[in-house]
Structure 1
Amino acid sequence: MRRAKITVIGAGNVGATCAHWCAAAELGDIVLLDIPQTEDMPAGKALDLMQSSPIMGFDSKIVGTTSYDDAADSDVIVVTAGIPRKPGMSRDDLLSTNARIITSVGEEIKKSSPNAVVIVVSNPLDAMVQQMWKVTGFDRAKVCGQAGVLDTARYRTFLAMELGVSVEDISALLMGGHGDTMVPIPSCTSVGGIPVTQLIDPARLEEIVERTRKGGAEIVSLLKTGSAYYAPAAACAQMVEAVVKDKKRCIPVAALCESEYGVGGYYVGVPVIMGSGGVEKVIELKLTDAETADFQKSVDAVKSLVASMDELLAG
């Protein structure tokens, strides 16, 4: 039986760290791919990672490359390609540049790995995964976005810090777009089975939610240069594991909702069952009126983001 083939497109901090997590967990053989202008950088990172295998005890084969030929027939592809927002760069600049990068990457994926499950990480996430699905023409189950796993992990971390309990005992769910409009679902958040609303008062809980919304920006402000990569990469690896091991994980991801939640053809963060087929089922929850209203605001923000992207690409 052959190992799964996992390609990570973008060999920067998130991509390389994702390759690291996947290799350490022996999820499959890994291709670390970047643009030709990076020259031998992906090969250098891949070789360095391979040389850690005797120490860490994994047998995954890791290849660094700038050619999509090496990524052919991948089972799972993680896309981290894109540029971060830089000082003086507008939101539209970031949106336009990364949408064009995703378009180029999607066209290559369509040619080289038509049966792959594609996990998009590039920002602005909700628009980028929408564009990837549009460009590849893949079934909606085969294209999804990583954000919910990361956002929920940050939320669980902050809740554990607040309560002084193990992160393992916290179960939580955040829905909606990736960013300021993400929607906490208190009815789906518990600590050892105890509803979080019985342990933290509403005002304090909202402060923790707000910190979660700004979780990425908080790390950027602390690092001064660069952005988060350990947790985003770990979140990617968990999704890869769900696919290659057919885990049937119930996790929040950016999935294409058609009739679900009345969204009508947009990618947005929702709980799903994830296995070898990708997003095998979108789980529809009964939300409260307040949760429904907040979720709709988040969906509207995603629609506006996608509309702006389409306008920029058309221009």
Structure 2
Amino acid sequence: MFSKVFKNIINQGARQYSSKKGLKVTVCGGSGGIGQPLSLLLKQSPLITDLAIYDIAPVTPGVVADLSHMDTNSNVTSHVGLDNLKDAVADTDVVIIPAGIPRKPGMTRDDLFNTNISIVCDIIKVIGQVSPHALVGIISNPVNSAVPAAAEILKKLNVYDPKRLFGVTTLDIVRSNRFIAELKGLNATDVNVPVIGGHSGPTIIPLISQCTPQVKFDHDVLVKLTKRIQEAGTEVVQAKAGAGSATLSMAYAGAKFTTSMCRAILGEPNVIECSFVESTVTDSPYFSTPVLIGVINAYIVVFIFYKNLSFKAMNYDNIIMANYYKE
């Protein structure tokens, strides 16, 4: 899939990081509906030695006390309020941000804009001041708006590095894998579907024709499957009857993404994740696409390998989507 040159470059970086035994990860919004199960999953990772939990909620010390009783390798620390955010992100390797309010019935991700973008920008500003080297993954919706907003904050601080800022779209891939596995009677862990575009409704473009293993669906089934993937978040919001949004599956997806970041930093070659990043793939300055993440001379490197996707296949998938929306 990748040239030998890319593999050699990544392997060179891997050797430089192989001696690092563990990482610090900061969860911003760690006491929320996504943050708590996400922190629970990350606390179990052998790659993480320090887990910092930041939130404005007064319950945060209790969440950390609860996590600290787990007999895993990592230490966990509590950081409450914006005044303590600097300590939470100091010397951190990865910051994952699920902070913000959840969707309620009738709300779109865009309805969360005013509240959540403000929260994300406050966090990003401190990260830029204290730990501009950290990899930052934004879960907070709307991701399509939060990532560009975060980039502008970092640009004003003169620390913006597009290779260190990611919109977490992993849940779209997780859902695609699961839904296809259900339809085809496959083990979901053996299915991998690239999902490009963005992280909201029609911007979510699952490239089903690029699925591994290869699968085929009748037109009507493909239309329904695509629609379900795009509206899966609403499916959960409605199923919870106003009591919340997709928290558990998002925490699972967020943990997968964070673990991939850790694996890349520690030198594992060929770590690939779909993510909403600065891109030249389309006219849009940001686009979700598969990226290869690795290290070179202590710098994180992101290779966007959209050229390896069949444009014929991409066009076919887009035609299916166009037919659906036309109908």
Report TM bin, short chain: 0.7 to 0.9
Native 8 Å contact 2:147 2:167 kept in 1: yes
1:100 paired residue among 118, 139, 157: 118
Q: Does 1:20 align with 2:40?
A: yes
Alignment of 1:203-218 (within 5 A): 203-218=220-235
Tell me the amino acid that sits aligned with residue 152 of structure 1.
I
Q: Secondary structure at the match of 2:91?
A: coil
Deviation string, structure 1 residues 75-122 (Cα, Å, up to 9, x no partner): 000011122244687876521222222221111111121210000001
> What is the match of residue 82 of structure 1?
100
1:9 aligns with 2:33: no
Q: How many angstroms does 1:186 deviate by?
A: 2.9
Determine the structure 1 residue equivalent to 2:275. Answer: 253
Q: 1:279 to 1:293 in 2, by over 3 A?
A: farther
Work out the CA distance in 2 between the residues paired with 1:261 and 1:45: 41
The amino acid across from 1:98 in the alignment is N
SS at match of 2:281: helix
Separation of aligned partners in 1, 2:168 and 2:116: 16
2:17 aligns to what?
A: none
148, 160, 174: which is aligned to 2:195?
A: 174
In the superposition, the TM-score normalised over structure 1's length comes to 0.82
Match of 1:231, as an amino acid?
Answer: S
Percent pairwise identity? 27
Query: Separation in 1 of the partners of 2:313 and 2:94?
Result: 37
Give how far 1:263 is off: 2.7
1:133-180 superposed Cα distances (whole Å, 9 cap, x missing partner): 211232000001101x21011011111111112112212111111122
Q: For residues 153-168 of structure 1, what are the structure 2 equivalents within 5 Å?
A: 153-168=174-189
Amino acid at match of 1:291: N
Closer, same or farther: CA 150–93 of 1 in aligned 2, 3 Å: closer
Tell whether the 8 Å contact from 1:31 to 1:65 is kept in structure 2 after alignment.
yes
- Which runs of 5 or more residues in structure 1 are unaligned? 299-315
Q: What's the TM-score once normalised by structure 2's chain length?
A: 0.79
Contact 1:244 1:275 in 2 (8 A): no
- Alpha-carbon contact 1:272-1:283 (below 8 Å) kept: yes
Partner of 1:59: helix, strand, or coil?
coil
Residues 1:16 and 1:280: Cα distance change in structure 2 (over 3 Å): same
CA distance in 1, matches of 2:187, 2:300: 30
Match of 2:245, SS state, is coil
Post-superposition offset of 1:280: 1.3
Q: Identify if the C-alpha distance between structure 1 residues 188 and 279 changes in structure 2 by more than 3 Å, giving closer, same or farther.
A: farther
- The 5 Å alignment of 1:1-315 reads 1=20, 3-11=22-30, 12-28=32-48, 29-35=50-56, 38-39=57-58, 41-53=59-71, 58-66=72-80, 67-68=84-85, 69-86=87-104, 94-137=112-155, 138-147=160-169, 149-181=170-202, 182-191=204-213, 195-197=214-216, 200-224=217-241, 225-246=243-264, 247=268, 248-257=270-279, 260-264=280-284, 266-276=285-295, 278=300, 280-284=302-306, 285-288=309-312, 291=315, 294=318
Query: Over aligned residues, Cα RMSD in angstroms?
Result: 2.4
SS in 2 for 1:280: strand
Structure 2: 5+ residue runs without aligned partners? 1-19, 323-327
- 4+ residue segments displaced more than 6 Å: 87-92
State the distance in 1 between where 2:122 and 2:79 align: 17
Instruction: Please state whether the residue corresponding to 1:123 is helix, strand or coil.
Output: coil
Q: 1:89 to 1:217 in 2, by over 3 A?
A: closer
AA aligned to 2:238 is S
Q: Is the 8 A contact 1:144 1:279 kept in 2?
A: no
* Distance in 1, Cα, partners of 2:212 & 2:37: 30
CA contact (8 A) 1:255 1:279 kept: no
Contact kept? 1:14, 1:80, Cα under 8 Å: yes
Measured in 1, the distance between the counterparts of 2:206 and 2:244 equals 27
Aligned length: 281
1:48 is paired with a residue of what secondary structure? helix
User: Are the aligned partners of 1:156 and 1:172 in contact in 2 as well (CA < 8 Å)?
Assistant: yes
**Distance in 2 between residues matched to 1:92 and 1:61, nearest whole Å:** 36
CA-CA distance at 1:252 after TM superposition: 0.9
> For the structure 1 residues 292 and 122, does the alpha-carbon distance in structure 2 shift closer, same or farther, using more than 3 Å as the test?
farther
Instruction: Give the aligned residue type for 1:221.
Output: Q
> Does the C-alpha gap of structure 1 residues 83 and 202 become closer, same or farther in structure 2, counting only changes over 3 Å?
same
